[in-house]
Amino acid sequence: MSEQGDYCCERMETFTVSGSGFGLGLLIIVFVVIGAGIAAYLFVPRASKPRLRDVRTMSLVFVILLAFGVSIFFANPTPITITIQQGKVTLSAGAADGGTNSFLSTEVVQAYADTLGNGVLASISKQYGTNLGNYNVGVFTLSNGATAYVASDNVNNIVVELKDGTYFVFGPPQSNFTSFVSYFSQEIVPVSNST
């Protein structure tokens, strides 16, 4: 069969969890705040009143760096995606949010639907990544102590347990969550209700 024939029927679907990764922007904002504190400590004389020129310069630098950090926070070009193709699931995120990780359907012990606040998602703690409300991307520790690669922008999630004891938690926005569950069930393993 020709090379073109081998790829004609390959099914692939990509689901976007978020249009932007927040990790790098948050990191820059933290560094800006810390840097401004250090600069204020080093350059503003403590015994006398600060000179107006020094305060204006430091304020301008702080505002420029903060604006840069905030713009990256909201416009980071790294989308968080979940790609399902030929029995393989790939989670792609920026380096600050866990990088790229994948698994095969043959590695799955179980996959089930669950919501934040229930089961292994009752209490999750971030090892590294980003968590803002229902938006959770990165590497987290679940309630049962297991490590999970998480990409969720939703209170509803699919929890995937692998044979090696690690987990993946996927929660695309509610607008395409049903189609994600359906496609995952067809191509990887059936998704059951909460355990």
Check whether residue 176 and residue 100 sit in a common domain: yes
Look at the chain and report how many structural domains it folds into: 2
Check whether residue 139 and residue 63 sit in a common domain: no
Query: Can you give the pTM of this predicted structure?
Result: 0.69
Q: For residue 91, give both structure tokens.
A: 């989670």
Q: Given phi > 0 = left and psi -120 to 50 = alpha, else beta, which region is 187?
A: alpha
pLDDT (tens digit per residue) in 117-127 = 888 888 889 99
**18 is a domain residue:** no
The span from the CA of 172 to the CA of 82, in Å, is 9
pLDDT (tens digit per residue) in 58-100 = 777 777 777 776 666 555 556 789 999 989 999 998 777 788 9
Check whether residue 70 and residue 161 sit in a common domain: no
* Full residue range of the structural domain in which residue 42 is found: 23-75
Last residue of a domain, one of 39, 60, 75: 75
Helices (H), the chain: 3-7, 23-43, 52-75, 174-187
Residue predicted with more confidence, 99 or 51: 99
